[in-house]
Amino acid sequence: MAVTTPVCDYDAAMPDFALPDPDGRIFRRDDLRGPRGTLVIFICNHCPYVQAVLDRIARDAAELQRDHGIGVVAISANDIADYPQDAPEFMKAEAEKHGFSFPYLYDESQSVARAYGAECTPDFFGYNAEGKLQYRGRLDASGRQPGPPDAKRELFEAMILIARTGQGPRDQTASMGCSIKWKA
């Protein structure tokens, strides 16, 4: 079922976390923060909305990290008992397939997703250097299918604005995707 995210709660504090990658290495929020901002992305392997944009996410994240001082992390919180294709061993393969330049972490307890208020995959949270939320919008005009090749890079442009000014755009279009698969 498609879910749309709420509007940006400007200046909400970035929740802390310590989560493992598929190899069991623990990554902490403060280790992943960039000097000019941080992008936290909730994704999973099976969602068609995520699959439609994974290459664009990888492209934009690499450029934001390399050229704009933005830290990036992806987190999967889906219940793998009901969605085994989202398990860590498959997360690792997905990250390698798409050339992720950022850690892809597993939130088994789902507590981090709940702390962020994540609702769907993909769900994007863009923070400034002070760890205050400035973007809660979509990647671009893509849906279950990739948008046009020349689609406006909404998330990318918002994160550059945040890196430069500390403030996100006031006009944001909510992200849409599959609901997070919560445990019973």
Residue-wise pLDDT for 35-77, tens only, equals 999 999 999 999 999 999 999 999 999 999 999 999 999 999 9
pLDDT tens per residue across span 118-165? 999 999 999 999 999 999 999 999 999 999 999 999 999 999 999 999
| Residue 104: strand pairing partners | 74
Across 107-150, the runs of DSSP E, i.e. the strands, are: 120-121, 123-127, 133-135
Structure tokens at 101: 């330049």
| Distance (Å, whole) CA 130 – CA 38 | 9
pLDDT tens-digit map of 8-35: 999 999 999 999 999 999 999 999 999 9
Query: 37: which strand partners?
Result: 34, 70
Q: What is the pLDDT of residues 107-121, one digit of tens each?
A: 999 999 999 999 999
Cα–Cα dist 44/120, whole Å: 9
Does pLDDT of 1 surpass 80? no
Domains with residue ranges and CATH for the chain: 2-179 (3.40.30.10)
- CB of 167 closer than 8 Å to CB of 134: yes
Give the torsion through C-alpha atoms of 178, 9, 42, 96, to 10 deg: 130
- Decide: helix, strand or coil at residue 129: coil
Q: On the CB side of 106, how many CA atoms lie within 13 Å of its CA?
A: 21
